[in-house]
Each structure stands twice: as structure tokens, then as C-alpha cells.
Structure 1
Amino acid sequence: MRTLVLPVSRCLTLREIGVARCDHFIKQLAKLSHSRAKQGRAVLRLALELAVRHEILPSNPMDHVSRLYREPHLPDALTAPEVNVIRAAIARWESAVNHISGPKPDGQLSAIIEVMLGTSARIGEVLAIRRRDIDITSAIPSIRLAGTIISRNGEQTFRQDHPKTAESRRVVALPTFTADAVRRRLANAGSMGLDDLLFQSRDGTPLTTANVRRQLRHVLGGAGIEGVTPHMFHRTVATAVNANANIELAAGLLGHTDTKITVQHYIQRSELVNPATAALLDRAFAKDEE
């Protein structure tokens, strides 16, 4: 409401906000971003519905706004060889002796990638991991995902005490490559309090998701790799789990309560139909022996 709706409506009375104005507002947002348009539509509908309940408006103008449409999007995921190319590019950058500008890399970028690959966590969830959320000494190492990093214009970046949704708090068992990366990060970080963030700036403040994205683009761009975003690792892990197990396990790992969301937005569709169909059709339509 504060960032999307109020900038264009704070000088209007409720009765001035009609169907045409609402429709124009949502369409302008959609030109910038489909997700922004969805958010703006949702909060504006809720606000105007409150006005209807208090009998300030006779009906909700948002009920008559045209539906949002977006071209179908197929989730993109990385293959295992592509993941290893990315790992190698980051490792070369972190181990380089001479860096043109800025301090020497501290290994956090590669560790962040390994945690995303091993947990399917969103970048904000990874940056919000505290020392107390890590169990690296048990027979099955794990990380509790229980927060996310929030950055707002004009405000300090801070850790929110729940992930994208409160229901998506979860404890994720770690594969060996992630557990090893976390151990190296803890060793490099030295003494840490229970509430200290696993990944942080040299000043001890939270890393911003924007800075991590920017650094990833810079490092991979220098290696000739374009188009890779942190969210792509989210989809890559979901696709791998679905391909090797099932959609329910993938949805649970991502913290989704509905597998439809996982299928629609996070699983890369395979064009290969189960080859069992060939044997089935052989049995169903076998030719008579001549």
C-alpha cells in the first residue's frame, strides 16, 4: 500500500477512485511488473472492500477491473554441468590473487550458492540464517530456515523473523557439499554469537539481496555467463528433486503448502514422456502373428 498504491492515490477521496481509475492504475503497474500489478490489485481491493463494509462506497470498483494477463512462463532450471561451470567461475574469482577493485573475496558468494543448492532456499532466506539455525554436528546436519532479509527504500536492511510466509518455516537436512561449505564459512568467520548471521558484511550488518545479485552478475559476467539469477537455483533444486523423487517432496523442500504453485512456477517441464507407455501400447495393440 505504501509503495505502490498511496503514491498515486493519496490526494484522492474514496469516491474519486472509480473503475476507470483503478483499471488504468493496474494496467500501468502491469507494464512495469506483473507481480507489482498483482500486489497493487490485492491491496487496493482490500482497502476498497473496507470502504464498502463501512458504507462509504456502494460497491468495490476492483470487482469490475479487467483481469491481469501474462504470457505463460516456463520455469528455467540449470543442469548439473551448468551448475559446475558456475561453481568453477566463482571459485576462480575468489581465488584470484589480484582484484582490480575492492577487498579480496572472503568466500561468502560460493558458500551462499552451495546453501541455495542444498536447501532450495530463497536468497533472502539464506542471508537470514543465524548461527543458532545451524546444526552441523549431528549425524544429519541441518539448517532451520526461519527468516528473510528485508530492504526498503530509506530504511536499514533488517532480518524479518519469518520467511516469505509464516508457514514456510522449515528445517532442511543438508547434502554433503552444503554441510562442507557451511563448515568452511563458520571456520572463516571465527567466533560467532548465536544470533549472528552466517553471511554478513565486514561491518557485521546483513548482506542485501540486491548486492548479492549484483555481485553474482559481475562474477559470472566476467566469465561470459549471462542470465543466471539466485532464483534460478531455487527452481533448479525443485526440478532435480521432482525428477528424482516426486512433486510432494519438492513442494515440501520449497516450503509450499500447495503443489500447484510448485508445478506452475518452479518445476521445469520435461518433454520426455515416461517410456513405460511404449511397453503398455505394445501390450494393448500387439499385432497378430502372421
Structure 2
Amino acid sequence: MHDIERTGPTRPKAERLLKKAISEALKAPGGGDMDHNTKFSVVADRWITRQAGRVEAGERAHGTLDNYRSVLKNHVLPALGDLRLHEVTVPRLDAFLPAVKAKTSASHARTTRAVVSGVLGFAVRQGALGSNPVRELERIEGGKRKKPRALSSAERRKWLEQLEADPKAVARDLPDLTRFMLATGVRIGEALATFWEDVDLDAGTVAIDWKVIRIREVGLRRVKKLKTESGDRTLPLPSWAVSVLRERRRLAEEAGRGPATPVFPDTLGGLRDPSNTRRDLREARGTEDFAWIKSHVFRKTAATVLDDAKLSSRQIADQLGHARPSVTQDVYMGRTTVSRDNAIALEAMWDDDGPGNSGGKPGAGQDQQDQTGP
């Protein structure tokens, strides 16, 4: 048993603090090779090792692990790492998390709270603590989300015309990538993970089962979705998207790229980095009319088109790979096959572009169509 000491401004106060510390020490169950006197940093290291094992088992995403590591390194360990577990108290955390929020954001503070809770919850399960103090903290308020914004029909047309007129954007394959994301509503990592073997041009469908991520100290990898994710789905495509993909398939075959190659490769024909592609989009958008555009805007736009076409929230959630709109629908309705109504609604995305845009690639003006061909 280690010695426990407490000091206070008066003898009675010091005695009360000492009695409280002894009581807490007796309540801590102990067990294993850690107890309430173990440093927080030691428990954090074991917890993150456990999370890495869950990634290898397919229970956690690589990106989540990297995020946890970053939060530990930059915020949690500098503040709490040298403390003993019993010193990570509710008052201390009640001061720490607001400081993180003030320095970063409410969202970042919530992630930090989740990491601290994960570490201390692990300590509870190992018998080193009697309870998790994070559970006693108030919710972190603030960080109100911005209202989602989608591209209007006129903005879709203007955006693609801007891309087609930008040689650098064309060289980076941004026009067709935009079209594919508008036609499907997929995330950028899903779009870049789509291989030709996932595309059935005759059936007019594409299977969305993979994503491209960057794994620390490993590099780019095409990884299968987690079993717990709702994102695996086969999407029917509008005919204009099939036309775009047919032309791309022809060019890919001429270049010797087979079924097990990306639909949207990098310059060497391999996997393309989502982060670099987002940077390419930022450069292409300029600083005026489209300064607000991010890759997720294409996903929101597809959802908005489907909503305007009066599709149900369940159909839209299936298209986007969301687990909800409601628990009842999640439990009693299948999500592996998406309604053909989605493709019909997306079919009409360019209908109001005027006669100058009939035929050819959607979203491009007649002059561009004459230059690029069908």
C-alpha cells in the first residue's frame, strides 16, 4: 500500500481531504498490472494499442485511429499524461475540455472528450478505477452546423463549364469526377476507390463497396467498408452517367488498364489521394462564385435533387449509404438494392440546360461538346 498525503489551508481541511483520498483509494478495485495510481499516459498507450487491434480486426476505421492518435498527441497527453488516474477528476476535466473548445472548436472538444472517456473507461474495465469521471461532465454545447448548401441547376452547369475551360482541371480529371459524384452522391473516397470491375455498364449500375484512405506509415490503400458501415450498396446510374463511363472505359482499355484499375486514377494509373483531389478542387473553384464548394457539395446536391423529386427519406438514405432515417426502417427494410427511381430522378439533372446542351457530355456547352465529342 503506498502512502497517501494531502495538505490543506487548515488542519481540519487537510484531514477531510486525506479521508476522501483514502476512501477513493479503497473504492478503486485494482487488479491486473495497473491501479488508480497508474499514470494516465500509460493507460492511454494501452488503450490506443487496443484500438489499433480493433482496426486490424475490421471493427474500427483507420481514419478513426489516426484521429484518436492526433487528439492524444496534441491535446490530451500534454494536459493529462503525467497525472495519476485518481488525479483525473471531474473538476480537472471540467476545466480541461472548455479550454480545448476555446482553443479549437466544439466539435474538436467533443472528440477530445470521447478519447478521454475511452481511456478512462478502459481503466475502469481493467479494475484500476471505480467509475469514469467523464460521465459526470456536462454536454459540450455550441458548434452549430451550417445549413447544407447544394448546387442549383444553373450553378451545376456553370461549375462544369468552368472546369471544362480550365486545362489544369481537365488534366486532373475533375469534370468527369464531378459528374460521377453528382450521379451517385458518393463520398470522394468512395468515388476514387471505384474500379472498373465494380461497374456494370450493361446493367447501368455501380457497386460502392470500397474507399480509398491514407494509412499512416503505409500510404494509400483501397479498403473494404467496415462490416458495421451502412455504405455498401449497388447504385443504378442515370443514362448520362453511363455514357460518360462508357467513354472512359474505352479510353482505359486503349491505355491497357483492365478491370482491376481505378475509374478515376492518378497520373500513373494507380490510386488517387482523396486529400490531393480535394486540394485540386479548391484550386479549380477560384475565389468568387464557387469559393464555398467542397467535394461534399456534390453529395448534398444529389440528395437535394432526389428530395426535390419527392423520393422518400429512406430511398435517399439508401443512395447516400446512411444508416438511418429511422430505427424502424433500418431494422425492417433492406438496403443492399437501391430503388431505380433514384436513377430516374438523377436522369433529369440537366433537362433545363437548354437545347445547346443536348447530347454529348452533360453540363458542357455546345462549343465544348463539339470539341470533346460524345
* Structure 1 and Structure 2 fold alike (TM over 0.5): yes
Give CA deviations for 1:160-200 in whole Å, capped at 9, x if unaligned.
Answer: 21179632100000112221222222222233233222222
**1:191 is the counterpart of 2:256:** yes
* Matched residue, 1:238: 303
- State the partner residue of 2:164: 91
1:251 aligns with 2:317: yes
CA gap 1:56/1:126 in 2 versus in 1, 3 angstroms? same
Distance 1:157 1:177, change over 3 A: same
CA contact (8 A) 1:125 1:163 kept: no
What is residue 127 of structure 1 aligned with on the other side? 192
Question: Structure 1, residues 44-97: CA drift from partner, whole Å, max 9, x if none?
Answer: 323322211222112112112231222253211111111111111111114xxx
Q: Does residue 74 of structure 2 align to residue 3 of structure 1? A: no
Q: Give aligned pairs, total.
A: 251
Structure 1 residue 216: deviation in Å?
A: 1.2
- Say if 2:136 is the partner of 1:73: no
Output the CA distance in 2 between the equivalents of 1:51 and 1:257: 31
* Distance 1:243-1:178 versus aligned 2 partners, 3 A rule: same
1:159 is displaced (CA, Å) by: 1.4
Distance 1:165 1:198, change over 3 A: farther
Please, which moves more after superposition, 107-116 or 187-196?
187-196
Q: Which has the larger radius of gyration?
A: 2
SS of 1:172's equivalent in the other structure is strand
Asked if 2 retains the 8 angstrom alpha-carbon contact of 1:131 and 1:198, the reply is yes
Paired position in structure 1 for 2:89: 18
TM-score by length of structure 1 reads: 0.76
Q: Larger helix proportion, structure 1 or 2?
A: 2
Alpha-carbon distance change, 223 to 54 in structure 1, aligned in 2, over 3 angstroms: closer
CA RMSD of aligned residues (A): 2.7
C-alpha separation in 1, matches of 2:117 and 2:305: 38
Given the alignment, which residue of 270, 280, 284 partners 1:215? 280
Question: When the two structures are superposed, what TM-score results if normalisation uses the length of structure 2?
Answer: 0.60
* 1:203 aligned residue: 268
2:219 is paired with a residue whose SS is coil
Which residue pairs with 2:33 in the alignment?
Answer: none
Of 141-150 and 13-22, deviating more is: 13-22
- Kept in 1, the 8 Å contact 2:85–2:129? The answer is yes
Structure 1, unmatched stretches of 5+, are 262-290
Change in Cα spacing, 1:15 to 1:113, as seen in structure 2 (3 Å) is same
Task: Output aligned runs, 1:101-140, within 5 Å.
Answer: 105-106=170-171, 108-138=173-203
Q: Write out aligned runs for 1:165-176 (5 A).
A: 166-176=229-239
Worse-superposed segment, 54-63 or 11-20? 11-20
Change (3 A) 1:13 1:79: same
Q: What letter matches 1:18 in structure 2?
A: T
Is the 8 Å Cα contact of residues 147 and 163 (structure 1) preserved in structure 2?
no
1:129-166, CA deviations, whole angstroms, 9 ceiling, x for partnerless residues?
1121111122xx11111111112555412212117963
1:49 to 121, 131, 141: 121
With over 3 angstroms needed to count, the CA separation of the structure-2 counterparts of 1:178 and 1:14, relative to structure 1, is: farther
Deviation at 1:126, TM superposition (A): 0.5
3-state SS in 2 of match to 1:168: coil
Q: Is the 8 A contact 1:129 1:197 kept in 2?
A: yes
1:13 Cα shift?
4.0
Identity %: 27
Q: SS at the partner of 2:323?
A: coil
Match of 1:282 in 2: none
Q: Which protein has greater RCO, CA pairs closer than 8 Å, 6+ apart?
A: 1
Contact preservation (8 Å) 1:148, 1:163:
no
- Structure 2 SS opposite 1:115: helix
